[in-house]
A and B are shown apart, each in its own frame.
Chain A
């Protein structure tokens, strides 16, 4: 019933706004839409989503097909489909597709409609869908995934931190003490993979450094970044093993589940996996918000759920796709629930139950309020381009793993922090200049 009321609300508001989206059932006979998205980390979510999409199609007289692929194939498939001028109606990617902007529909209308209906969106979502220099919403971000710290409660309690580390200093002091006493290291990756790229950025932001400033000028080479890199190298040398230089995205999950890492930065995925195989061990995992450094406490969101519609989509197919996206957001309580609290809503008002679920996990955590720390997530969860926007240059810097490689060079003793940061800064400048020449990155004055 609640779902039907929400659906009705969305349709009414969209019609009132007159944004050109056809109302329910107004599509030409034979209209079909197809979605390409990742095989969700939580299989239960895909089961729910596929059922929801089929129901939506029946209710709106639209044929809906959903294809799931490994997340690593999303960008390459989107690129191929844009180049071919044919393919899926809606593609969901997990990182900002700003570099695809010329091949995507401007979704300013549905972003405006969503803001009208559900109010402000989380800033991490806004930055992953809007490119100021082009004044274009190239995407609609419906959800994001928090990236808190996961810690071994017993180990950190013995080290004198029963609630886990709160600061990067705590992580070094406590993590080193645990490593010396038990041989169990901290797990902050320094490898060319996703989690390492985000964890290293979190430290740099918290020390006051960043890749770019608010106006998209490259500011990586700063005292703050150098201090953060020195800190990370010290953390690696004193509280971690060399394994972090060769990690895959799954390595920190595996280590935490095996009880062989004392602290990692990750989504709730490692914990949920452990919960399914050993509830007692899972009860020993706690969560912390972003660690505080000299300049604040920031952490990257883990991934974003970002819908884009390629330019080749037209007519009723386009209208139906936009309707589908808004209706999906209107049902975000179910999306969050069936993702086992993995997906957080960009529009908090779409999931009024969220705070209650964080206080009492509907999926049986012990203690039930294990995720309560995530109630403040919007205060510290930021996007890859923070404090600017996530533009195509930021995406390329991310893809080339420049930040974790910079840190690893210092931790391995190959370069000083000053040299490594200067070298990385030079490459980042090259990338920014490339994209600036195409008119897709601001700044540079």
Chain B
């Protein structure tokens, strides 16, 4: 027993043991594909020929000169930023609600986590039906309540064409992203709220602090680091996501909902130009890296204070 327990008493060894699976995972499933994408971006590989002939920055210049790419880049940033605002607001509200005591709290939490737990492609097929250009149940309800149809309050048409008009298609995609990402951010914030020492909150109560004052001056500042982490997770996931628009709009109408991940796939895999597809996807990397460094520093500073 003594022989067995000895190596496990070595903190360094145990640390390596715990870290190894995560490091292997990151190296093999994240690091290697990432390095491969960089290599592809500086070559002229196609789907049929993966010989790495170095072409310098040619792909990056070509991508930057492409008008569609610039619009796609802007759309990706806009979708990410707008949805993060809503995710942050909703996640804070919901985290506060779910950390209170009320009847049915566990069931409410379970229902609420479902959008995150459901496989994204399956969930998007559901939304595709809900937002169908012709047979949307939402349109049906609006039609039945007089909002649509002849002399309708919103439109004389029987449909709003959720995924077919420039404005509504963008609103729909942002809405679905918020629906999908809010549960994760909420769970992270709930963990943060639960970790606030109760003696601090008790002290505040004794001192006569009311709900809003406790929230704004105690809870939110204390969970700021974890809020930044939640935001970072959500932003990076959304920035690289293509599933939502791939299923819902395939980037349409025109290019209004085309995002980097989707365009990279369309050019690289469907169009066969693997090198440019890789270059398109890598354009986001410096931005995401800068964002991650900034946010992690912010979180770190907030923690120190």
Distance in angstroms between the alpha carbons of A430 and B66 in the assembled complex: 8
Which residue of B49, B254, B267, B269 contacts A76 across the interface (Cβ within 8 Å)? B269
User: In the complex the two chains form, is B128's CB within 8 Å of A100's CB?
Assistant: no
Distance in angstroms between the alpha carbons of A412 and B249 in the assembled complex: 17
Interface stretch of the complex, out of A277-285, A355-363, A399-407: A399-407
User: In the complex the two chains form, is A396's CB within 8 Å of B271's CB?
Assistant: yes
Does A55 lie at the interface of the complex (its beta carbon under 8 Å from any beta carbon of B)?
Answer: no
User: In the complex the two chains form, is B273's CB within 8 Å of A396's CB?
Assistant: yes
Chain B interface residue count: which class?
A: 35 or more
User: In the complex the two chains form, is B46's CB within 8 Å of A243's CB?
Assistant: no
Interface stretch of the complex, out of B93-101, B157-165, B199-207, B209-217: B157-165
Does A392 lie at the interface of the complex (its beta carbon under 8 Å from any beta carbon of B)?
Answer: yes
User: In the complex the two chains form, is B164's CB within 8 Å of A243's CB?
Assistant: yes
Known: A246-B164, A409-B254. A426 touches B67 (CB 8 A): yes
By secondary structure, the A interface counts as helix
User: In the complex the two chains form, is B269's CB within 8 Å of A248's CB?
Assistant: no
Interface residues of B in 159-177 (CB under 8 A from A): 159, 161-166, 169
Does B47 lie at the interface of the complex (its beta carbon under 8 Å from any beta carbon of A)?
Answer: yes
Q: Closest CB of chain A to B168's CB: distance in Å?
A: 9
User: In the complex the two chains form, is A396's CB within 8 Å of B267's CB?
Assistant: yes
Chain A interface residue count: which class?
A: 35 or more
Contacts of B180 in A (CB 8 A): none
User: In the complex the two chains form, is B271's CB within 8 Å of A399's CB?
Assistant: yes
A245-265 near B? 1/0 per residue, CB < 8 Å: 111100100110010100000
Which residue of A190, A254, A400, A426 contacts B271 across the interface (Cβ within 8 Å)? A400
Distance in angstroms between the alpha carbons of A313 and B104 in the assembled complex: 60
Interface stretch of the complex, out of A45-53, A101-109, A146-154, A331-339: A101-109
Known: A245-B253, A434-B276. A99 touches B266 (CB 8 A): no
**Minimum CB distance partner of B69 in chain A:** A427
**Minimum CB distance partner of B258 in chain A:** A192
Distance in angstroms between the alpha carbons of A423 and B276 in the assembled complex: 20
Known: A75-B269, A246-B252, A396-B272. A241 touches B169 (CB 8 A): no
Seen from chain A, the residues whose Cβ lies within 8 Å of a Cβ on chain B are 75-76, 78-79, 82-83, 97-104, 190-193, 241-248, 251, 254-255, 258, 260, 392, 395-396, 398-401, 405, 408-409, 412, 414, 423, 426-427, 430-431, 434-435, 437-438
Q: A101-B48, A392-B272 are in contact. List 16 more A-B contacts (CB 8 A).
A: A76-B269, A99-B48, A102-B46, A103-B48, A191-B252, A191-B253, A245-B254, A246-B163, A246-B164, A399-B267, A401-B251, A401-B252, A405-B252, A408-B254, A431-B273, A438-B44
Sample 7 A-B pairs with CB under 8 A, ordered by A number: A75-B47, A79-B47, A193-B250, A242-B165, A400-B271, A430-B66, A434-B273
User: 10 closest Cβ contacts across the A-B interface?
Assistant: A99-B272, A246-B164, A396-B271, A102-B49, A245-B253, A100-B48, A399-B270, A103-B48, A399-B271, A246-B163
